[in-house]
Amino acid sequence: MNSHSKIVGSIVLVILAIVGQACAPSATSKPTSSLPPPAADSARSAAAGEGQRGSSKESTIGKSSLDDLKTGKAPVTSPSSPLKDVFFEFDRSDLSADARSVLRANADWLKTNPAVRVEIEGHCDERGTSEYNLALGAKRAQAAREYLATLGVTSERLSTTSYGEEIPLCKEANENCWKQNRRARFVITPSRPAS
């Protein structure tokens, strides 16, 4: 299979995974909430990055890995992002001590910015089948979501998705590269408008 065919195939798999998530309830579906949406002023403030500890002048609203792929950019979390990625061991979805430390810092920031909503993306390295890696990515995103909830971040603010192996951060076939791809990425999403 040539490189172009593999990229097109990967994009098709990502689209199918997203469509599948929209059609069937699963652990990776976005939660529905009976809580009222955040106030419009708070949402605008959060979207503009005003009053946020550790924020920069650039917008804090992130682009998903799929958005980055569509525009030809690498799916990299900006160093200025207040939310950092967590990494996993090969074929694992449990949280290491380092991952828990990063998640505690992410939870602290989220608790001081209550209007912010986040999508947690689960990613894997290229080893294993596409289907297996989509499921493993979902488990990784869910593990991060559940731990944030234990730290006091309401689950209504957190959604998950899995990209499996389809949107790698690094494309070399070696352990140093693979460990960069085994991650949960946190993307700040636009707050829901007040109704």
6-15, 47-56, 176-185: range with lowest mean pLDDT: 47-56
Residue 195 · residue 37 · CB < 8 Å: yes
Q: Distance between CA atoms of 61 and 81, rounded to whole angstroms?
A: 9
> Residue 75 has what pLDDT?
85
Report the pLDDT value the prediction gives residue 192, as an integer from 0 to 100.
61
Provide the residue range defining the domain that includes 75: 3-189
Q: Give the pLDDT score at 145.
A: 98
What are the tens digits of pLDDT across the range 88-135? 999 999 999 999 999 999 999 999 999 999 999 999 999 999 999 999
138 Cβ contact list (under 8 Å, min separation 6): 26, 27, 28, 122, 160, 161, 162
The pLDDT, as a whole number, for residue 15 is 45
94 part of a folded domain: yes
Residue-wise pLDDT for 35-82, tens only, equals 333 333 333 333 333 333 333 333 446 788 888 888 888 888 888 999
Residue 183, in any domain of the structure: yes
Examine residue 40 and state whether it is found in any structural domain, yes or no. Answer: yes
Q: How far is CA 181 from the centre of its chain?
A: 12
- Whose CA is closest to 83, among 148, 140, 30? 148
> Looking at the whole model, is its pTM more than 0.75?
no
Pairing of strands 117-123, 86-87: unpaired
Per-position b or e across 39-73, b if 16+ CB within 10 A of its CB: eeebbebbbebeebeebeeeebebbbbbebbeeee
Give the CATH number, domain containing residue 117.
Answer: 3.30.1330.60
Q: Is residue 98 part of a domain?
A: yes
> For residue 13, is pLDDT > 50?
no
The predicted structure's pLDDT at residue 6:
47
Would you put residue 152 in left (φ > 0), alpha (ψ -120 to 50) or beta?
Answer: left
SS3 190: coil
- Residue position matching structure tokens 């910015």: 113
State how many domains the chain has: 1
Dist. CA 85–CA 23, nearest whole Å: 28
The predicted-structure confidence for 122-179, as pLDDT tens digits, reads as follows 999 999 999 999 999 999 999 999 999 999 999 999 999 999 999 999 999 999 999 9
How far, in Å, CA of 60 to CA of 82, rounded? 8
Largest Cα–Cα distance in the chain? 51
Q: Tell me the per-residue pLDDT of 23-37, one tens digit each, with 9 for 90 and over.
A: 333 333 333 333 333
- Is 149 domain-assigned? yes
Answer yes or no: are the C-beta atoms of 193 and 42 closer than 8 Å.
no
Task: Tell whether 26 is covered by a domain.
Answer: yes
- Report if residue 194 sits inside a domain: no
